[in-house]
Structure 1
Amino acid sequence: MRGITAILVLLSASVVAAGETVKTSGEAQRAAHPSPIPVPDRIEAIVVTASPLAAAGGEFPGSLSVVDGSDLSLLNHSHIQQALVRVPGANISRGNGQEYLPALRSPVLTGAGACGSVLSMQDNLPLFPAGFCNINELFAAHSEAAERVEVIRGPAGTLHGAGAMHGVINVVGPSARSEEETRLRAEAGPEDRWKLGLRSSADTQKGSILSSALSLGQDGGYRAQSGFDQQKLSLVFRSAVSGDVTRFTGTNLEQETAGYVVGEDAYRDDALRRSNPDPDAFRNVRTARLSHSLTRALGSGFELDITPYVRWGEMAFLQHFLPGQPLEQTGYRSAGFRADIQSDLSATTRVIGGLDAEVTHASLRQSQSEPASGSDFLRETLPVGLHYDYRVDAAQLSPFVLAALSPSEQLSLELGLRLEGLRYDYDNRMLSGRTREDGSACGFGGCRYNRPADRTDDFANWSPHAGVTYEWMPEQQLFVNLAHGYRAPQATELYRLQRDQSVAELDSEALRSIEFGLRGRAPRWRYELVGFAMEKRNVIFRDADFFNRSGASTSHQGVELALGLQLAPRWSLDLSASYAEHRYRDDRLLDGLPVDGKLVDSAPRVFGSTRLSWVPDESSRLELEWQHQGRYYTDPLNLHGYPGHDLLNLRAERRLGAGWSVALRLLNLTDEHYAERADYSSFAGDRYFPGEPRALYGEVALLF
């Protein structure tokens, strides 16, 4: 941490030395280029992801980023990664179509133990049930119609519970506002790409408001047989009588999937980068969510907030990356509520107590329709027919309490504790063991896939939190945050086993974190500078025998900087930068060599983005974006790597009057040959998801 501390001191000194003469970049852009979507102030924003106590009083004692409506409008993103690249510490690895691998103050998370480490939400409700995560969860959020995206960097288990180990990404969807005009947006680009967005609001005769947002999209895919069709709908109803808000979101994604291209620097080859070695692969996903939020004053200063909800989802996914290419079919139905009661006990003390509860019924089937290609061993151990067929009933109960103390106007303290219990009741619908579907044995010692017998599993986790915020100068804050995150084993890690493993004795992953931050603003600049150190234990992984195990450890240290400077009255510069080291800290051996002390693969030390904006008049805005991805290793022994890349994107929008506006987006301006993700496999060698070539998109929008 000595090097990190030195960087922290130097950067903070340079920021404090900046001038103080004009508006911050975000404020100036919003003043000169107003958006139809209200945008919260970047420092004083009341955000639902942050602590409800911080929103009601002092500042949030942690690392919080907001991608606001103005930026989302300019981006009109085709993939959530294009928005999250503006968040320090977020390094989302884009896959084909709408797929991605998450990274938030972490390496790119992949394999066993990956999903469920970053909590993905919309309107403060998790997108997927606890214990049944999907690595691509954000494709179920209606981010195309979002008013903003809120990100907590670092563990937030006390605030949000299961899955918030590395942080939280919360998509804030459309709200019900009577003053909102109807807006139609249409965009077209190369490879038969088009998008259509429609938003509108209507007042009922009794004064209630119904808002709707529809997003349609099609992408032919720049790689062979890699396109998708996507539809999303959000409805929001606000009652004029009670003020209650009812929300519905439905999504549908039908996607052809492209796999890795293989070979050293294959992403540089013009023919290979457009090829698809898995032309039959696909992923079809449907989701729906319904919630009802209400707030009631209970008397004596107490206030109740409660949001009951139901969820439904199903997915069919051809696992093209596995031998035999089995088909996975999953589904879930869940219902629950989030509730809290808060009150001011005194002028300096505010307390909130709450309870989150959820029940889920989920299922998984995996089957193979054709014999596996390759060796006799693969054909014999990967039989045609059903591999898994099980159901899991789960129940989650999670009480929590938070207290905020303000000993002085400058100092605020926040303390919190959450206890979460999660139970799985697993029902195997096939014969137990590693046989074929009909009970016959596979050769070469048995079938690869092993089905555990019926069982129940229980997990309990504590999550304490303590934070301090101190305003050492007007508009300048110092914060220190101690937090604990956790991740219970997911159902697939417990019950989709292989080879001789009939029972997975897994513990919950745990992460301890300390962070120190400075943030502030002046008329000419704004910043947030954070140094952090984290230690993760009981990391779940798959060993060389294909067993799911826990017990690995990793360490994570880094510095993050968000900086905005007003260079001139109409010119501004925004920077989101991260430097971090993620290392293995356990005694595992790989190919007879220790991994302890090695850098975790898929974890660049340096990455981030810089945006130069020009607002020439009240009707125009231009932005030049530089994205930097540093070098990283692609294997745990640090023997293979990817050199990194730099991308330039140019975006421009202009209002034409009478409600019309146009926009252009030129992505990958220099037509860089790069990889969205690089990996190394002992079976295939170097492999890549090639990045997209230069592409120009045009948009027309109408307000009426």
Structure 2
Amino acid sequence: MELLSLKLRALFVAMAVFNAVAAQTPLDDIERISTTASRFDSPALAAPLTLSWLDEQQLQRVNPVHIQQALVRIAGVNVQRGNGQEYLPSIRSPVFTGAGACGEILTAEDGIPLRAAGFCNINELFEAGTEYASSVEVLKGPGSVLYGSNALHGVINVITQDPIDAQTLLSADWGSFGYTRAGLRVGNGLSQHGVGLNLSVTDDGGYRDEEGIKQTKFHVRYRYDSTDLALTAGLSFSDLDQETAGYIVGPDSYQDSEIAQSNPNPEAFRKARATRLWVKLEGQTELANHPVKWQVTPYARDQDMTFLMHFLPGQPLEQNSQQGIGLKSALELTLSPAHRLTAGIDAEATDGSLTQFQESPTQGSAFLMATIPSGQQYDYQVDAQVLSAFFQWQWDLTTQWQFTFGARAESIAYDYTNNMLSGRTRDTGEPCGFGGCRYSRPASRDDRFNQVSPQASLSYYASENSLWYASVGQGFRAPQATELYRLQRDQVVADLDNVEATNAEIGYRFFSEPISWQLAVYHMEKRNGIIRDTDFFNRSESDTRHQGIEISANYTLSSHWQVSGALTYGRHQYQNDQGDLVIAGNDMDTAPRRLANAQLLWQPIESLDVELNWVYTDGYFLDPENEEYYAGHNVFDVGMVWAVTQNVTLTAKIANVFDREYAERADTTSFTGPRYFPGKPRSGLVGVEYSF
């Protein structure tokens, strides 16, 4: 009741603010076109769901060295930065951790999912071209019928710059702790054909001892336009070589600068390489005198990763890879001025593999030494196929009212092959002491997961610049391969179900000058959440509730001043006990209730932007029992973008201006107690761009 009352008060306050402002605001036509909420270009205002974004100008002011610095500006999004390019994500949820938690949020580049369903990685956004993005769009809540498994809490879509018609650009950045980055953009737009390149090379020495990253990314794009056909092709590549720093441990250890700078795991590393190729064909025609838009996008992926699992006893080495092909398609049929139907078929086939090998004997207690022997621990292959069909029907009831209904049917099949001895033995077949080895390898098997996800919405255009909407829908994710086949202890089969969520929300958006803003109130019930219980069994037995309010706004105070920001209040709770844990009604761990950010932009002259940025993270519990707690933090940054000439732009930024000691991430384990990824102390970044 308390949260419901808060929701209603927020709605009434928001309506009062809107009425006061809109009464004196001209209804200028400010239109942003989005591709994330629809396969085809469509106005963001019209989307009957919560869609937020950062445009190219905002990204230039942020000049992120890590995607977290950009995403935390979006209401309802909380990304905790790990070390190097690592992170843990959250959209209307606690911060996700664990082998399959990456399946809760779908991440994409130019609309193509970065990883195949069933083979995600929690850090996979480091493969996207965020360094040369034209925008980052975030769809919040269960993905629309256009997205399937993994779009449970939302979608993050990084849209890369189209370099073809742009000016050639050279850029360089230099920052504290040995940070350097170079960029190149080259375009060659001809009459019908065009080709372009975006390139980014990063070398970061790192703040902590014996850490650092070297990363190269590039994106090549080709475009062909004719009267009847448009063809666009993209090739993306990412190569990451990272020396990783692990958690620091001990209560409030992040407040000790010497400990914060230390690296308890200098041996840790991650090497990852990813290549994606896609071709989009689109055009327009007629079917029985009805206008038709169509779109077909085949794509291919090739990815591999090697990293030392320094956070596990024995520090095994994991190697995983996936190669696959896919197809996205859509057809939009205008049946009449009031009726429009969108439908399509998506398909994907992926071959994935994983090995886990431990070189040296485990150190520690007699139990650990006996149950975690050196040698091969996992070696398996999974062939996966995904087939989906969707439709979405839009009915303009009147000039102001619009009803939308759609559904998606999806089938995911796994063909799992165990390349080792089955069971919980050593790789030689010898048994382990204390009842058996820690790692259990299920016998080869097949699994299939089917789901139908409906969604409906009702929209009301209060004016040409404002929209009310109400929506209800379902989302799901299939179990990931690591949850099904990377078992422990006595478990020989993981009998898991789809994780399902039912979401209802009411929203409002208003786009104009001098003010634009969005409001959303949501309530989500989630079932069959996959957990590892006290017996170390993977089970589908966690029910949770997620509800909250999000407000974001942008207000131009004058020709020289602008203020923007976002405020989130969310409550994420366990709905049932889990094994021996009596936690029903508790806050989920790593789920701050309040998140906020604000930006004050000063433009003393047309060519100069100076921005003060504030990010607030509320305190949160570190454990399901709600016993350990992190107090939260405030962090301030200041940045500048100065177009010195038509061809030369200078940028500068000071992060953590007040040199606050804080934790980017806090959690706890029974072995270590509280542990943290420390936030960086005050640091600087300067850059220059030259275009010609």
Common fold by TM > 0.5: yes
Q: Identify the residue that residue 668 of structure 2 maps to in structure 1.
A: 680
Go from structure 1 to structure 2 and tell me whether the alpha carbon gap of 1:661 and 1:20 turns closer, same or farther (over 3 Å shift).
farther
Q: Identify the residue that residue 74 of structure 2 maps to in structure 1.
A: 87
Local SS of the residue matching 2:328: strand
Residue 298 of structure 1: CA displacement? 4.2
1:140 partnered with 2:127? yes
1:13 partnered with 2:2? no
Q: Deviations over 1:565-606 (max 9, x none)?
A: 12222101101110000000013254xx51000000100000
Q: Identify the residue that residue 223 of structure 2 maps to in structure 1.
A: 238
For 1:680 and 1:502, locate their aligned partners in 2 and report how far apart those are by CA, in whole Å: 28
When the two chains are superposed, the root-mean-square deviation of aligned CA atoms in Å is: 1.7
Q: Identify the residue that residue 700 of structure 1 maps to in structure 2.
A: 688
> 271, 279, 304: which one pairs with 1:314?
304
1:255 partnered with 2:242? yes
Map of 1:176-255 to 2, 5 A cutoff?
A: 176-178=163-165, 180-203=166-189, 207-241=192-226, 242-255=229-242
1:617 partnered with 2:644? no
Q: Identify the residue that residue 34 of structure 1 maps to in structure 2.
A: none
Residue 218 of structure 1: CA displacement? 0.8
Q: Identify the residue that residue 573 of structure 1 maps to in structure 2.
A: 563
Local SS of the residue matching 1:615: strand
Residue 53 of structure 1: CA displacement? 7.1
Residue 362 of structure 1: CA displacement? 0.5
**Unmatched runs of 5 consecutive residues or more in structure 2:** none
Q: Deviations over 1:213-242 (max 9, x none)?
A: 000001111011120000001000001444
1:265 partnered with 2:255? no
Cα contact 1:113–1:541 (8 A) shared by 2: no
Q: Deviations over 1:60-95 (max 9, x none)?
A: 000000100001112221110111111100001110
Map of 1:98-177 to 2, 5 A cutoff?
A: 98-177=85-164
For 2:352 and 2:184, locate their aligned partners in 1 and report how far apart those are by CA, in whole Å: 33
Map of 1:333-344 to 2, 5 A cutoff?
A: 333-344=323-334
Q: Identify the residue that residue 37 of structure 1 maps to in structure 2.
A: none
For 2:24 and 2:650, locate their aligned partners in 1 and report how far apart those are by CA, in whole Å: 33
Local SS of the residue matching 1:612: strand
Cα contact 2:32–2:43 (8 A) shared by 1: no
Q: Identify the residue that residue 3 of structure 1 maps to in structure 2.
A: 6
Residue 521 of structure 1: CA displacement? 3.4
> 531, 553, 563: which one pairs with 1:563?
553
1:603 partnered with 2:591? yes
For 1:403 and 1:54, locate their aligned partners in 2 and report how far apart those are by CA, in whole Å: 17
For 1:90 and 1:455, locate their aligned partners in 2 and report how far apart those are by CA, in whole Å: 38
Q: Deviations over 1:318-341 (max 9, x none)?
A: 111110011000000010100112
Local SS of the residue matching 1:17: helix
1:211 maps to a residue whose letter is G
Identical amino acids, percent of aligned pairs:
42
Residue 58 of structure 1: CA displacement? 7.3
Cα contact 2:341–2:394 (8 A) shared by 1: yes
Residue 642 of structure 1: CA displacement? 0.4
Go from structure 1 to structure 2 and tell me whether the alpha carbon gap of 1:57 and 1:608 turns closer, same or farther (over 3 Å shift).
closer
Cα contact 1:324–1:368 (8 A) shared by 2: yes
Local SS of the residue matching 1:147: strand
Map of 1:647-662 to 2, 5 A cutoff?
A: 647-662=635-650
Map of 1:313-392 to 2, 5 A cutoff?
A: 313-392=303-382
Cα contact 1:174–1:234 (8 A) shared by 2: no
Map of 1:622-641 to 2, 5 A cutoff?
A: 622-641=610-629
1:84 maps to a residue whose letter is L
For 2:612 and 2:555, locate their aligned partners in 1 and report how far apart those are by CA, in whole Å: 15
Go from structure 1 to structure 2 and tell me whether the alpha carbon gap of 1:281 and 1:310 turns closer, same or farther (over 3 Å shift).
same
Residue 4 of structure 1: CA displacement? 2.1
Q: Identify the residue that residue 655 of structure 2 maps to in structure 1.
A: 667
Cα contact 2:164–2:221 (8 A) shared by 1: no
**Unmatched runs of 5 consecutive residues or more in structure 1:** 28-40
For 1:247 and 1:520, locate their aligned partners in 2 and report how far apart those are by CA, in whole Å: 34
Q: Identify the residue that residue 519 of structure 2 maps to in structure 1.
A: 529
For 1:12 and 1:148, locate their aligned partners in 2 and report how far apart those are by CA, in whole Å: 29
Q: Identify the residue that residue 494 of structure 1 maps to in structure 2.
A: 484
For 2:108 and 2:351, locate their aligned partners in 1 and report how far apart those are by CA, in whole Å: 20
Local SS of the residue matching 1:271: helix
Cα contact 1:561–1:576 (8 A) shared by 2: yes
For 1:134 and 1:632, locate their aligned partners in 2 and report how far apart those are by CA, in whole Å: 25
1:193 maps to a residue whose letter is Y
Q: Deviations over 1:511-568 (max 9, x none)?
A: 0000101111343211101110000000001111111111110001100001111222
Q: Identify the residue that residue 510 of structure 1 maps to in structure 2.
A: 500
Q: Deviations over 1:666-687 (max 9, x none)?
A: 0000000000000011211111
Q: Identify the residue that residue 534 of structure 2 maps to in structure 1.
A: 544
Local SS of the residue matching 2:605: coil
1:190 maps to a residue whose letter is S
Go from structure 1 to structure 2 and tell me whether the alpha carbon gap of 1:276 and 1:61 turns closer, same or farther (over 3 Å shift).
same
Residue 408 of structure 1: CA displacement? 1.1
Number of corresponding residues? 684
Q: Deviations over 1:273-301 (max 9, x none)?
A: 00111110011100000000001334322
Cα contact 1:20–1:524 (8 A) shared by 2: no
2:284 maps to a residue whose letter is A
Local SS of the residue matching 1:116: helix
For 2:603 and 2:533, locate their aligned partners in 1 and report how far apart those are by CA, in whole Å: 54
- After the TM superposition, which parts of structure 1 deviate over 4 Å for at least 4 consecutive aligned residues? 19-24
Q: Deviations over 1:293-324 (max 9, x none)?
A: 00133432223200001000000011111100
For 2:646 and 2:123, locate their aligned partners in 1 and report how far apart those are by CA, in whole Å: 40
Q: Deviations over 1:619-640 (max 9, x none)?
A: 1000000000001111111111
Q: Identify the residue that residue 412 of structure 1 maps to in structure 2.
A: 402
Q: Identify the residue that residue 294 of structure 1 maps to in structure 2.
A: 281
For 1:130 and 1:701, locate their aligned partners in 2 and report how far apart those are by CA, in whole Å: 38
Q: Identify the residue that residue 35 of structure 1 maps to in structure 2.
A: none
For 1:621 and 1:176, locate their aligned partners in 2 and report how far apart those are by CA, in whole Å: 24
2:397 maps to a residue whose letter is P
For 1:4 and 1:373, locate their aligned partners in 2 and report how far apart those are by CA, in whole Å: 53
Cα contact 1:602–1:679 (8 A) shared by 2: yes
Cα contact 1:53–1:404 (8 A) shared by 2: no
1:621 maps to a residue whose letter is D
Cα contact 1:189–1:698 (8 A) shared by 2: yes
For 1:280 and 1:587, locate their aligned partners in 2 and report how far apart those are by CA, in whole Å: 38
Cα contact 1:63–1:530 (8 A) shared by 2: yes
1:622 maps to a residue whose letter is V
Q: Identify the residue that residue 467 of structure 2 maps to in structure 1.
A: 477
Local SS of the residue matching 2:635: strand
For 2:24 and 2:546, locate their aligned partners in 1 and report how far apart those are by CA, in whole Å: 38
Go from structure 1 to structure 2 and tell me whether the alpha carbon gap of 1:107 and 1:519 turns closer, same or farther (over 3 Å shift).
same
Cα contact 1:380–1:447 (8 A) shared by 2: yes
For 2:101 and 2:607, locate their aligned partners in 1 and report how far apart those are by CA, in whole Å: 44
1:13 maps to a residue whose letter is A
